[in-house]
Amino acid sequence: MLFVIKLSPSQSWDLTGGRRARRQRTRTRKRGESMRYMLLLYSAEGAGPAEGSSEQAAEMQRWFAYTQELADAGVLLGGEPLHPISTATTVQVSEGSTVTTDGPFAETKEVLGGFYMIDVDDLDAATGWAAKVPTAFYGSVEVRPVLEIGELS
Amino acid sequence: MTQSTVAQAFAREWPILVAILTRDLGDLGLAEEAAQEAFTEAAARWRPGATPDQPGAWLLTTARRKAIDRVRRDRRFTERLPALLELASTPQRQPTELIDDQLALIFGCCHTSLNTEAQIALTLRQVCGLSTSQIAEAFLIAPATMAKRLVRAKDKIRKAKVPFTVPDIEALPERLDAVLQVVYLIFTAGHTNAEGPGLVRGDLCDEARWLTEVISGLLNDRSETAANATDWTRGRAEALGLKALMLFTDARRAGRSDDDGRLVLLENQDRSRWNRQMVGEGQAIMVEALSVGVVGPYQLQAAIAALHSSATSWDQTDWRSILWLYDRLVRVTPNPVVKLNRAVALSMHTGPGAGLAAIDELLADGHLSQYRYLHAARADLLRRLGRTEQAAVEYHAALDLGGNEAERRFLTDRLAALGP
């Protein structure tokens, strides 16, 4: 089962606003400045604790605790769980026509189940946080640096 | 023209210069270019009797000026300019900062977020100062491929902000393992030519040995000032173990192939061709490493190599102690290759049948079925047991899995010697 987190009001973040604020601050990254990383949480569906099991309750607590830890450390920009892959729809535009298909972009055993966006000093800090995500214990966490728009020039 | 003065300065100052510049500029690629340009200028300007009193300081000043020029030309870096101009008037680094800068460069090049090939290439380029084409030549690949590999690695370092810093103490053991692994891989790449005619490419072995010298020296200096000195000392013991292991192995270089370039097994090597001075040096380093009192995998492997080095012949080798060391090694690093080596030691101590059973156990567990040395070892044990038909099948299996020419000739000879 995929993880489910309801962010409490104090735990919700305005991603768009955050990004806009940041974009003004950083055009090009400078030394010593923090970086945004996306933690992409992948696991095989059904790899986590079974629904309704006592492990699931404990798992939920781990998610809450982890999210709170990120927030307390002041590095959390946002994060959401996603519905199972069975709800996915894939869209492609080819030669002017939109092709909409049921299912994920690629059939893989491990699927994207959610994400966190964090703001930390460097890759070591990001991988350090990634190693604490509950998914890391039964799936994997992909750490991707965010491409700041200012870098594109 | 003082080519040799510049060359000497290069050997000594290159890693230090790149390390300082990487920290100053916060960009490995920029640091490398600035260092390169500084040396180019040194080659053009230094004259006999007119070399700077402090070549290192001269190079750093020149490199910083080059970096400022570069940053002025490239608007991607313009935001760095004020900080750079400030640095240009900064006094020389403190020795302790220099140690950390150099360690940071080594740990950064061997960062586990980079793939192993990239770690090796970066280390040879940034720390050893080899040119891209030299590295490409050493690994028998096209210079353009190597250049691309380096560019991709530097691109990831920049974009993902791979830190070039001394790791936190909790991460130190893992990160140090990665560094020593890179050095070991450089050494083995030199020691066992993957393909091609020769058996050994000495230049890579020499670079690897030089790296362990630098690393153990830096770790030693670091442990003197660090609050958690034990963790650093522990790392130093393993770095020394690796250095000793490479010395023992490299000492046999002249004995590993005959005058025709044929591979000679340890068993049949003319031990008088071994470099006794290197063996002695290795033994001294082992004593130093063991005095630290924390034994790790490199020290265990070095101890095994030491026993081979001090044995007068294959038969006179202390197989019992070697087997005991392998048992300990398997416990620390339970990987199939170590188990294969243990099986060979077991065959010498107990008999070929016991060795064969241990190898078959590995295969039954699904390990190393595509590893040519497993088949070569299995062939040899079958040969010793007089099971020639099965031995022939195994020699063929080993030959089918590639290897360098010297190894292949060895296997072909062995196969032929089995008779019809």
pLDDT profile of chain B (420 residues), mean per 10: 74 91 90 94 87 89 90 76 74 79 95 94 94 87 94 93 91 91 91 58 84 92 82 90 94 85 85 94 94 90 95 93 96 92 95 96 92 93 94 93 83 86
Give the pair of three-digit tokens for residue B287: 């004593």
pLDDT for the residue numbered B82: 78
**How close does chain B come to A50, measured CA to CA in Å?**
31
Q: What is the per-residue pLDDT across A76-98, written as a single tens digit (0 to 9) for each?
A: 999 999 998 888 999 998 888 88
Instruction: For residues B7 and A20, give the distance between their C-alpha atoms in angstroms, rounded to a whole number.
Output: 51
Q: Are residues A128 and A144 in the same domain?
A: yes
pLDDT for the residue numbered B200: 59
Least-confidence region, from A59-68, A103-112, B143-152, B338-347? A103-112
Nearest beta carbon to residue B113 from set A31, A127, A153: A127
Residue A34 burial (CB < 10 Å; 0-12/13-18/19+)? Answer: middle
Instruction: For residues B207 and B185, give the distance between their C-alpha atoms in angstroms, rounded to a whole number.
Output: 11
Q: How many CB atoms lie within 10 A of CB B301?
A: 23
pLDDT for the residue numbered B3: 59
Q: Are residues A39 and A92 in the same domain?
A: yes
**How close does chain B come to A128, measured CA to CA in Å?**
10
Can you give the residue range of the structural domain that contains A9?
Answer: 1-31
Displacement of CA B318 from its chain's centroid (Å): 28
**Residue with tokens 């020593």, as numbered in its chain:** B180
Instruction: For residues B127 and B120, give the distance between their C-alpha atoms in angstroms, rounded to a whole number.
Output: 10
Q: Are residues A70 and A123 in the same domain?
A: yes
pTM to 2 decimals?
0.82
Higher-scoring residue by pLDDT: A38, B403? A38
Q: Are residues A75 and A113 in the same domain?
A: yes
Interface test mutation site (partner B, options A31, A34, A122, max chain B beta carbons within 10 A): A31
Q: Are residues A40 and A115 in the same domain?
A: yes
Beta carbons of A71 and A129 less than 8 angstroms apart? no
Q: Are residues A19 and A83 in the same domain?
A: no
Q: Are residues A39 and A20 in the same domain?
A: no
Q: Do B163 and A30 make contact, defined as CB atoms within 8 angstroms?
A: no
Interface test mutation site (partner A, options B81, B158, B161, B164, max chain A beta carbons within 10 A): B161
Provide the residue type at B396 as one letter. H
Max intra-chain CA distance, chain B: 79
Which residues in chain A touch residue B113, judged by CB atoms under 8 angstroms apart? 123, 127
Beta carbons of B239 and B180 less than 8 angstroms apart? yes
Q: Are residues A65 and A108 in the same domain?
A: yes
Q: Are residues A104 and A39 in the same domain?
A: yes
Q: Are residues A59 and A83 in the same domain?
A: yes
pLDDT for the residue numbered B224: 82
Beta carbons of B264 and B409 less than 8 angstroms apart? no
A113: domain CATH number is 3.30.70.1060
Nearest beta carbon to residue B79 from set A28, A127, A144: A28
Q: How many CB atoms lie within 10 A of CB B32?
A: 22
Q: Are residues A71 and A1 in the same domain?
A: no
pLDDT for the residue numbered B264: 86
**Residue with tokens 């990634």, as numbered in its chain:** A130
**How close does chain A come to B160, measured CA to CA in Å?**
5
Provide the residue type at B198 as one letter. G
pLDDT for the residue numbered A1: 33
**Residue with tokens 């013991």, as numbered in its chain:** B237
Give the pair of three-digit tokens for residue A11: 């735990």
Classify the complex by whether its ipTM is higher than 0.95, answering yes or no.
no
Number of domains present in the structure of chain A? 2
pLDDT for the residue numbered B193: 58
pLDDT for the residue numbered A32: 60
Please state the φ and ψ torsions of residue A33, each to the nearest 5 degrees.
-95, 150
**How close does chain A come to B74, measured CA to CA in Å?**
12
- Provide the angle, in degrees to the nearest 10, between the axes of the packed helices B202-225 and B229-251: 160
Nearest beta carbon to residue A30 from set B79, B111, B162: B79
pLDDT for the residue numbered A3: 41
Q: Are residues A39 and A26 in the same domain?
A: no
